[in-house]
Structure 1
Amino acid sequence: NHSKIIENIDVGGPTMVRAAAKNYNDVTVITSPKQYEKLINELNSNKGSTSLSFREKMSEEAFSETAYYDALISDYFNKMSKNFFPKKKVFFSNLVEKLRYGENPHQESAIYSKTKKLDISQIHGKQLSYNNYNDIFSALIISKSLPKNIGTVIVKHTNPCGVSTHKDHKKSYQLALACDPISAFGGIVSCNYKINKNLAIELNKVFLEVVIANGFEKEALKILKKKKNLRIINANDLSFKNMNNFISNFNSILIQSSDINPFIKKNFKIVSKKKPSATEFKNLIFAFNICRFVKSNAIVLAKDNTTVGIGSGQPSRLDSCKIAINKMNKFQKIQNNDEVVAASDAFFPFVDGIETLVQAGISAVIQPSGSIRDKEIIKFANQTGTILVFSKTRHFKH
């Protein structure tokens, strides 16, 4: 209720806190019950008084508290007016934990949350590192984009190296692992479902840093906990809501909304003479969805709603095609009659990319439109009997 929210905005309290904090030379300001123990120790150590350094520290925390409170109010009004990019953007968050270090041991790091805690919980294992969190969020954004209670995602260095939405959970994991078992070593597995005993046995056969799921059966947890360092994460309470991406460098901040909108049929246009079957079209959408979470330039090859080759992070789209094809040839036993599809996160600037895919046995391609050579791509698809689907949206990920 908007009227109640306005009525509940405290004016006097923050004013008194700020006034006390400003006058820390003579006043000790306490803003949280968590400070009581420190205050008692301070009073006992100073015969009923407090030291200047303690009062300064309490003043610092008090101003942080009132700033956080005002930031919440500002954010509420911005959301209400749908002003997502106001002239002055105030960021507010709570410290979840100070991490041992950042991406590398010489870098300092911490994780913050807009709420008082994260929507994921660690059940077991070593303390999560900066890189663990980065990989966990990369894995979760993919697995939460999959159909409810279906799908296994394996991630290494924030890139997926295997994804499957096979309805049998154990088979789903096995298929995802088979996409690139070498890259999966030391990676993160995110299961968009509850893990049972049989799957836990399979997971323990491989060295993994983190296992994530929407809950764990008791027997499954017992098995996974045999590996004392394995980090086990419950993500059952996590959902897509009010998500933005932030990049900060040189005292500037880039903000954008997340690329997580579900794909629907009208987002795409079949531009080739040969049309996809319902199964082929579903497979194309699966590949394209995974592709938007792969670092650009990105190519994803898929068969039966399972990735069979992923090419990521190359400055050349052609190189990404070759990497995806090499992965497929190395780890898969593709038959001549298998229908393998390809997805690209952006258009092919030249025919050589799609030509390389078709020569490798790809039967259908999905890509964004927008190239000055789109007609050449369509012409090549028709000459080779390749299914070609255009997306109205591009999906770079840098």
Structure 2
Amino acid sequence: MDELREQKTLVNLGNVELGKDKIELHKNSVELRYGENSHERAYVYGELSFEVLHEGKQLSYNNILDAEAAWVLAKNLKLVGGGACVIKHQTPCGAAYLKSFDEADKIECIKKAIEADSESAYGGILATSFEFTLEMAKSIKTYLEVIVAPDFTTDAIEYLSNKKVRLIKPKEYTPYAGKVAFGGLVVSERKFEGEPELLFGEPFNLNEVKFTLIVAEAVKSNAIVLVKDGVTVGIGGGQPSRKRSCRIATTLAGEKAYGSIAASDAFFPFTDGLEILINAGVKCVVAPLGSIRDEEVLEFAKSKGITYYKSPIRVFRH
């Protein structure tokens, strides 16, 4: 795959150089266990911006993609003070944000992120926005493939070195979204910015509203995320229909949907998806506008007595 190709953009991705008139891909010496499936081979091009502190088993293609998805979400959680998340197949199983910065709350935050969907969290990737300590390591009672954190204490590394889990400490780098398509590399900036704007209804905790939207940014489109008391209770994503994502999220949430906040990664083109959320008990919605039916959707939401925040950005992820 080492080759030159015409390009018009300028992006720096480690040793993958995208210039005005060429792409130069440098194959890395890192060896992966296998590709997306065990019968497929995998290769690394460019420099991986992380340090492996412990490799209980050799990293695979999926491990790296899941770990990066987890780390991007964990870093974005710093916008609401920090938190923890569990990722499976590059989408969140559960996430929680910090209410304070003491050790006990950080441990509780990790537990909540795992327990938000404990069935899916098994064999997942955990990421935290804060240093990982021995006490945190001892508190984990489920099997994890990878733990990603900005740093690990020495005793935490020693304790976890007796397990098959991989420990990854990311370096500074700029995350991009990208895919290989038609024999080329298609790259997009990946940014979360702005603040949700209250349009009508009783104000909710703005930190929690923003947290809900941050998690939605990490979910495959179409994405619907339900949050209650600082923890995800229902996540629906990867569906071609927004209504289906609403059904999945509310079904997973069950009774916990009552009084929750819902985030949508894009606007509601009709009132039907919104109706599913409201009927399940959602009391607050954050979503971008941009539909030709915005006025109809907003009037419907207002008539149902819910709170509505305008998202500053659309957060599609494919």
Q: Which has the higher strand share?
A: 2
Match in the other structure for 1:98: 31
Contact 2:194 2:312 (8 Å CA) reproduced: no
**Residue 250 (structure 1) aligned with residue 187 (structure 2):** no
Distance 1:86 1:222 in 2: 43
Alignment match of 1:183 (pick from 85, 97, 120): 120
**What amino acid does structure 2 have at the position aligned with 1:248?**
V
C-alpha separation between the residues in 2 aligned to 1:358 and 1:197? 42
Which residue of 2 is the match for residue 343 of structure 1?
A: 263
**Do structure 1's residue 367 and structure 2's residue 287 form an aligned pair?**
yes
- The answer for the alignment partner of 1:155 in structure 2 is 87
User: 2:159 aligns to what?
Assistant: 223
Match of 1:382 in 2: 302
Partner of 1:325: 250
1:362–1:335: structure 2 CA closer, same or farther, 3 Å change rule? closer
Pick aligned residue for 1:286 from 191, 200, 211 = 211
Aligned-partner residue type, residue 232 of structure 1: L
Runs of 4+ in 1 over 3 A off after TM superposition: 77-80, 84-87, 333-336
Which among 310, 319, 324 is matched to residue 235 of structure 2?
A: 310
State the secondary structure of the residue aligned to 2:115: helix
Q: Which amino acid aligns with 1:233?
A: I
String of CA shifts for 1:86-118, please: whole Å, max 9, x gaps: 6523234351413232101232211122x4x53
Aligned to 2:66: 135
CA contact (8 A) 2:215 2:225 kept: yes
Three-state SS of the structure 1 residue aligned to 2:120 is helix
Instruction: Give the Å deviation of 1:175.
Output: 1.1
**Residue 39 (structure 1) aligns with:** none
2:77 counterpart letter in structure 1: L
| Mapping 1:15-30, distance limit 5 Å | none
- Asked if 1:234 is matched to 2:159, the reply is no
Q: Quote the offset at 1:264 in angstroms.
A: 2.5
Task: Give the TM-score normalised by the residue count of structure 1.
Answer: 0.70
Please give the alpha-carbon distance, in whole angstroms, between the structure 2 residues aligned to 1:250 and 1:179. 38
**Cα offset, 1:276, TM superposition:** 1.6
Aligned equivalents of 1:304, 1:387: Cα separation in 2 = 16
Cα gap change, 1:372 to 1:85, in 2 (>3 Å): farther
Is 1:270 aligned with 2:198? yes
Deviation at 1:78, TM superposition (A): 5.2
CA distance in structure 2 between the aligned counterparts of 1:85 and 1:132, rounded to whole angstroms: 25
Distance 2:35 2:194 in 1: 38
Distance (Å, rounded) in 1 between the aligned partners of 2:84 and 2:19: 39
Partner Cα separation in structure 1 for residue 242 and residue 115 of structure 2: 24
Greater percentage in helix: 1
* Separation of aligned partners in 1, 2:107 and 2:209: 23
Question: Which whole-Å CA distance do the structure 2 matches of 1:157 and 1:79 have between them?
Answer: 26
- Structure 1 residue 144, shift from structure 2 partner: 1.1
Matches of residues 37-76 of structure 1 in structure 2 within 5 Å? none
Deviation at 1:380, TM superposition (A): 1.2
Contact 2:25-2:45 within 8 A present in 1 as well:
no
The CA distance in 1 between the partners of 2:27 and 2:53, in whole Å, is 18
Write the letter of the residue equivalent to 1:311: G
Cross-structure match for 1:165? 97
Once residues 154 and 88 of structure 2 are traced to their aligned partners in structure 1, the CA distance between those partners, rounded to angstroms, is 27
SS for the counterpart of 2:45 is strand
Query: Given residue 91 of structure 1, which amino acid in structure 2 is its aligned partner?
Result: E
Distance in 2 between the 1:222 and 1:100 partners? 24
Please say if residues 139 and 188 of structure 1, whose CA atoms lie closer than 8 Å, have aligned partners that are also in contact. yes
Of 313-322 and 118-127, the range deviating more from structure 2: 118-127
Which of 1 and 2 has greater Rg? 1
1:33-79 deviations in Å (ceiling 9; x for gaps): xxxxxxxxxxxxxxxxxxxxxxxxxxxxxxx8xx99xx9xxx9x957
TM-score normalised by structure 2 residue count: 0.87
CA spacing shift, 1:349–1:78, aligned 2, 3 Å: closer
User: Retained in 2: the 8 A contact 1:293–1:397?
Assistant: yes
**For the structure 1 residues 270 and 342, does the alpha-carbon distance in structure 2 shift closer, same or farther, using more than 3 Å as the test?**
same
Give unmatched runs, 5+ long, in structure 1: 1-63
Sequence identity (%): 34
